[in-house]
A = this chain, B = another copy of it.
Amino acid sequence: MEATNNARAYPPDLLPFLPLLYVVWEDGILTDAELLQLRERLERTPDISEDARRVLRHFLDPSHPPSADAVHDWRSMIEAAVQALPSLPASLTELAQLLAPHEHPRAIVAAVAAAATEIGLETDEAVRAVVRRPEVQSDDRPAVRHEFDPEALCNASFGDQLEVRERTLALVRAESFAGAPEHNTSAYREWVFERIVELGVRGFGRLGYPKDVGGDGDQRAFMTAFETIALRDLSVVVKFGVQFGLFGGSIQHLGAANQTRTYLPQIGRAELPGCFAMTETGHGSNVRQIETVATYRPDDDTISVHTPSLSARKDYIGNAARHGRLATVFAQLRVAGRSVGVHAFLVPIRDEESNPLPGVTIEDCGQKMGLNGVDNGRLSFDNVVIPRAGLLSRFGSIDESGQYASSIPSDGRRFFTMLSTLVGGRISVALAALSAAKSGLSIAVRYAERRKQFGPKGGPETPIMDYLTHQRRLLPLVATAYALHFSLHALADDFVEADDDEARESVELLASGFKCYSSDNTTHTLQTARECCGGQGYLWENRLAALKADTDIFTTFEGDNTVLYLQVSKSLLGAYGGQFAGMDLLGYVRHFGRIAATSLKEKNPIAARTTDADQLRSHDNIAAAMRYRVESLTRSAAARLKSRIDAGQDSFEAFVECQDHLVEMSSAHVEHELFDRFRSSVGKLPPDAQPTLDKLVSLFGLSALERERGWFLEQSYFEPPRAKAVRREVNALLGEIRPHSVALIEGFGIPDDLLRAPIAV
């Protein structure tokens, strides 16, 4: 045995007690009463010297704790004793043995063993509390083995969109797209405008326009470009959407052939910057009640556009504060003293020198939470006169004799037909939101893999990705990102292929629903990613700040999520009866009785109780549970609405009283659709990725069932043991997926340079 100088001060038969004394004082785990009990027990140790007994008595006196120096000395002596050993002793008893003098080992060591056992210290851990092992260097940790090739997964997940994605990526990774002056709003706006011109010149603006006006006729590719630009800069993608999607799209979809021929070529090249002026200060969600008036004037065959009140100002209009020269203005058209409902008009707002035109007042919305590269503004019109040809006349026109005509007799139907031109935009917004979520997850998962805090006693610190709390926060969001990816791409395909009303209405419903789900998910994902990166996530250079601020409005624009979910619920109540009946309440009320009378599929009594892992992970079983939930919520919503309306309640009030139910129904429907699309995508992926993706599908589904287990228990669809088993199975899946977490985020295919400064430690 080696001993330090200080050890000479202690009687040799005290030494075996030192590890125990050290742990007792260093951890401070004993109460005064327990300390006194321990003292009494150790003092009774047979055959120890009077000196040792005295010192023990001294060092186990609750009212006179040992000095810090003494405690340190003990540790040094113990460390010196184990220094030469090839491995650590396994217990305090072995340590005691090591320190014991040759003469009296048995009784003393036995006393230490008994005492350590009684107070629960006879463990590896207690030994590591005394003797630290040197930390293993982080670079020595074996790299996580990937079982699949992330690049092949990424390529397969983009399918026939890969080419346009790579073309767009090449552009936005170019030098001209780096170094946005984000903190100087005025410079940032100009920089973003220059990028829009660059995108226009390089042909990205016209991707979706018809071939007969020089476009590519490929709306699908436009969406992929949109999704990809969102990986670089969200102000650029939003302004891109305003110029080419909303402004250009309004002319493409609402204009007559001569109007698209005149305007789309210049718009697609960004030579004619413009606005989509629908929303008014007083009329955001309820567009049908907008107040701006466009009056046909037979005297000179013109139309006068007018803002009658403050609440009629066109508000929050992108491209308006700085760059827009022409605006598509939505207004109530009056012909011959009669209102014929909302129509769209082309109104010039600025001259070539960027000065507002006479009668047009332009205000700047100023600084926003994010997206400060987009120049939002407010437009007011003081009897601004435009030619009759300024009416976008695909769905309603005025002839030379001043007669109004439309192929759609109902104002309401015509209005909703015009609004359906927003559908493509909603899919694009959902895709851009998803891109931001993927960026955030890429940053957070890489950080979690590198960042270490805490660890087992005496061992190296642990990567925070190994913590269950961290896995529970991040990995289900990775699964959701994949679910959204495959579902949104499938929906975008459906969108361009839809060739009848029913297909279009089905796409419209899901475009709204997926937009809600994706944007809510992005807000939640980026919040989680920020928190999972701690203070590093709060620094601007690590990008999460901008991602969060820029996407926060995605839950509002292109339709407030709550309002959209309620609209989806109305469509669902109509669709459930096999019919899409427009947007009016009256239409649905007639169906409620029929829906409420539909019988649900029988619950499977075995499924309610199973806790078997394979059964729990089964995609079929998860889908069945989700479908049951959707059908049950729909049926009970119809029953609740019907009973209120039957009792004479106004249908508006009846809907308000059921709003929470209706939103739940819509989001359950959307989640079921996402699950179905996700699980049917896996078979098309590279075989090496399928096992992990299959687990990811289960994780997405089971996480949703876990979150909604209150509902399933209420319906007795789950019995309590199954609900608990779902949670256990989620944790089991997390453990199995965790080794693939880096490969999975690499499967998003976001180049490092677009993630900017990756967070180092």
With beta carbons under 8 angstroms apart, the residue of B27, B316, B409, B656 that contacts A25 is B409
B535 adjacent to A68 (CB under 8 Å): no
A485 on the B face (CB < 8 A) = no
How close is A83's CB to chain B, nearest CB, in angstroms? Answer: 16
B541 adjacent to A456 (CB under 8 Å): no
Residues of B within 8 A of A63 (CB): none
A598 on the B face (CB < 8 A) = no
Residues of B within 8 A of A724 (CB): 714
A523 adjacent to B527 (CB under 8 Å): yes
Indicate the member of A28, A70, A124, A709 with the most B CB atoms within 10 Å. A28
Nearest CB in chain B to that of A76: its residue = B338
B652 adjacent to A455 (CB under 8 Å): yes
B129 adjacent to A409 (CB under 8 Å): no
Q: Known: A120-B586, A406-B68. Contact between A540 and B27, CB under 8 A?
A: no
Q: Mark A396-407, 1 if CB is under 8 A from B, else 0.
A: 100000011110
Bound-state Cα–Cα, A708 to B534, Å:
27
Q: Known: A185-B183, A311-B761, A555-B531. Contact between A27 and B713, CB under 8 A?
A: no
Bound-state Cα–Cα, A589 to B121, Å:
9
Q: Within A299-333, which residues are at the interface with B (CB < 8 Å)?
A: 311, 315-316
How close is A374's CB to chain B, nearest CB, in angstroms? Answer: 11
Bound-state Cα–Cα, A29 to B461, Å:
66
Contact-residue bracket for chain A: 35 or more
How close is A292's CB to chain B, nearest CB, in angstroms? Answer: 16
Contact sample, A vs B, 15 pairs, CB 8 Å cutoff: A28-B412, A28-B413, A28-B581, A72-B338, A123-B586, A129-B584, A183-B367, A366-B540, A455-B652, A531-B556, A538-B552, A709-B713, A710-B710, A710-B713, A715-B720
Bound-state Cα–Cα, A109 to B409, Å:
25
A67 adjacent to B409 (CB under 8 Å): yes
A752 on the B face (CB < 8 A) = no
This chain: how many copies in the complex? 2
B68 adjacent to A650 (CB under 8 Å): no
Q: Mark A726-743, 1 if CB is under 8 A from B, else 0.
A: 000001000000000000
Residues of B within 8 A of A396 (CB): 68
Q: Mark A531-567, 1 if CB is under 8 A from B, else 0.
A: 1001101111100110011001101110011110010
Residues of B within 8 A of A470 (CB): 562
Q: Mark A95-125, 1 if CB is under 8 A from B, else 0.
A: 0000000000000000000000001110111
B710 adjacent to A716 (CB under 8 Å): no
Indicate the member of A366, A409, A560 with the most B CB atoms within 10 Å. A409
Residues of B within 8 A of A31 (CB): 579
Residues of B within 8 A of A368 (CB): 538-540, 545
